[in-house]
Amino acid sequence: MIQHCVFLRFRSALQAADKQALYDAICALTAVVPGMVDVKYGPNVSPEGLNGGFRDGFIVTFENAEARDAYLVHPDHVAVGDRIVASTDGGLAGLLVFDMEI
């Protein structure tokens, strides 16, 4: 399995409803991307203060690396990804992506 972890620095003006709409769109991808098993999302709740400004995030679990790779180029994911990048502070600089095999 692969966990695709995405940490976000959303623009400060982004409303909670807009964040939820993005998370809903990511979750909806499970219906169209084979091998996409689960999505979890939410704000950072760590008291350590080591988040580097990444205050929100989501984790997508995939059956395997092949499913993750298919997701990366899937047109529905690309469309959602463009919306996410447009919602972050600094575009791509407002994202941190970390994948790990579990």
* Each residue's pLDDT tens digit, 50-87: 999 999 999 999 999 999 999 999 999 999 999 999 99
What is d(CA 1, CA 36) in angstroms, rounded to the nearest whole number?
10
67 in any annotated domain: no
* Residue 3 · residue 98 · CB < 8 Å: no
pLDDT, tens digit (0-9, with 9 covering 90-100), for 83-102:
999 999 999 999 999 999 99
34 in any annotated domain: yes
96 in any annotated domain: no
Per-residue model confidence (pLDDT) at position 41: 98
24 in any annotated domain: yes
Banded pLDDT at 20 (limits 50, 70, 90): very high
Per-residue model confidence (pLDDT) at position 50: 95
Per-residue model confidence (pLDDT) at position 71: 97
31 in any annotated domain: yes
* Residue 94 · residue 6 · CB < 8 Å: no
What is d(CA 4, CA 38) in angstroms, rounded to the nearest whole number?
10
Per-residue model confidence (pLDDT) at position 46: 96
Q: What share of the chain is helix, strand, coil (3-state, %, to 5)?
A: 40, 30, 30
pTM of the complete model: 0.93
Q: What is the CATH classification number for the domain harbouring 22?
A: 3.30.70.100
Q: Which domain holds residue 81?
A: 11-58+73-90
Mean pLDDT, rounded, for 32-37 = 97
* Residue 96 · residue 7 · CB < 8 Å: yes
Domain count, the chain: 1
Q: What order of strands is seen across the sheet that includes strand 95-101?
A: 36-43, 56-62, 2-8, 95-101
* Residue 3 · residue 87 · CB < 8 Å: no
